[in-house]
């Protein structure tokens, strides 16, 4: 069964493999196929890398339930983009493995006070990094989508003997600029 992601709707899955399998896209180029107990889904190579990195960072194991969400996020000035997010199911307060939570013993009062003061100092820095990380990831996603599109255009142009690479570049850039000016371009997913 094919899994479809609706924007801003979390999808609970049990992935069979945490790295998507690289397969050829029907539109040319490569994409990643992920299989789960619930079915299979295809994403761009860039999105596949993002999902695999998030799964690794969360120490998710194959078969463990996770939610994957294709979120629409605002980039300011009326611009929106897509950000993929992976979360563990049932473990919002800490690490969960095989149905049991690892709960640390409460620290002594002095240690709690020290930890609170360190957190108070780090919080603004962490928030700034998180904001930058979201913006930077959106920039990376958009750039990769443009590069993928350009690669497809070059591949198509290679079928024609009389089309030069610099002509393709010029046509591609003009088209990209016109589409973005008119606001009819799609955000990279």
Q: 96-97 and 65-76: which strand pairing? A: unpaired
Cα–Cα distance list, 82 to 63, 134, 153, 170 (Å): 26, 10, 23, 28
Q: Are residues 54 and 111 in the same domain?
A: no
Residue 24 lies in a domain: yes
Cα–Cα distance list, 124 to 27, 121, 133, 134 (Å): 44, 7, 14, 16
Residue 99 lies in a domain: no
Q: Which two tokens stand for residue 178?
A: 């016109």
Q: Are residues 158 and 117 in the same domain?
A: yes
Q: Are residues 112 and 172 in the same domain?
A: yes
Q: Are residues 86 and 126 in the same domain?
A: no
Q: Which of 61, 91, 121 is the last residue of a domain?
A: 91
Residue 189 lies in a domain: no
Task: Give the tens place of pLDDT for each residue, 99-109.
Answer: 334 445 555 56
pTM reported for the whole predicted model: 0.47
Residue 87 lies in a domain: yes
Residue 98 lies in a domain: no
CB under 8 Å, gap of 24 or more: what pairs does 88-95 form?
88/58, 88/60, 88/64, 89/12, 89/64, 89/65, 90/65, 95/59
Decide if pLDDT at 114 tops 60. yes
What is the Cα–Cα distance from 84 to 71, expressed in whole angstroms? 6
Q: Are residues 4 and 82 in the same domain?
A: yes
Q: Which of 58, 91, 124 is the last residue of a domain?
A: 91
36 CB burial (10 A radius; 0-12, 13-18, 19+): buried
Given this model, what pLDDT does residue 106 score? 53
Q: Are residues 16 and 79 in the same domain?
A: yes
26 band by pLDDT with thresholds 50, 70 and 90: confident
Residue 135, domain extent = 105-183
Residues 10 and 67: beta-carbon distance below 8 Å: yes
Given this model, what pLDDT does residue 189 score? 43
Count of structural domains within the chain = 2
Cα–Cα distance list, 56 to 51, 52, 108, 113, 134 (Å): 9, 6, 33, 32, 18
Q: Are residues 70 and 121 in the same domain?
A: no
Q: Which of 91, 122, 143 is the last residue of a domain?
A: 91
Decide if pLDDT at 125 tops 80. no
29 band by pLDDT with thresholds 50, 70 and 90: confident
Across the chain, mean pLDDT equals 78
Residues 124 and 167: beta-carbon distance below 8 Å: no
Task: Give the tens place of pLDDT for each residue, 34-92.
Answer: 999 999 998 888 899 899 999 988 999 989 999 999 998 887 888 888 899 999 887 55
Q: Are residues 147 and 111 in the same domain?
A: yes
């Amino acid at each position: 069964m094919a899994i479809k992601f609706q924007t801003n709707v979390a999808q609970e899955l049990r992935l069979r493999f945490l790295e998507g399998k690289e397969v050829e896209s029907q539109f040319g180029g490569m994409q990643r196929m992920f299989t789960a107990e619930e079915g299979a889904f295809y994403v761009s190579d860039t999105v596949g890398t993002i999902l695999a990195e998030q799964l690794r960072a969360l120490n998710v194991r194959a078969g463990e339930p996770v939610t994957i969400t294709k979120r629409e996020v605002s980039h300011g000035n009326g611009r929106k983009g897509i950000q993929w997010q992976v979360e563990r199911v049932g473990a919002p307060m800490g690490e969960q493995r095989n149905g049991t939570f690892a709960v640390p013993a409460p620290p002594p009062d002095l240690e709690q006070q020290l930890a609170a003061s360190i957190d108070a100092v780090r919080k603004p820095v962490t928030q700034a990094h998180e904001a930058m990380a979201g913006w930077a990831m959106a920039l990376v996603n958009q750039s990769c989508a443009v590069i993928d599109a350009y690669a497809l255009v070059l591949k198509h142009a290679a079928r024609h003997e009389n089309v030069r690479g610099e002509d393709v570049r010029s046509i591609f850039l003009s088209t990209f600029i016109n589409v973005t000016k008119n606001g009819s371009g799609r955000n990279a997913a």
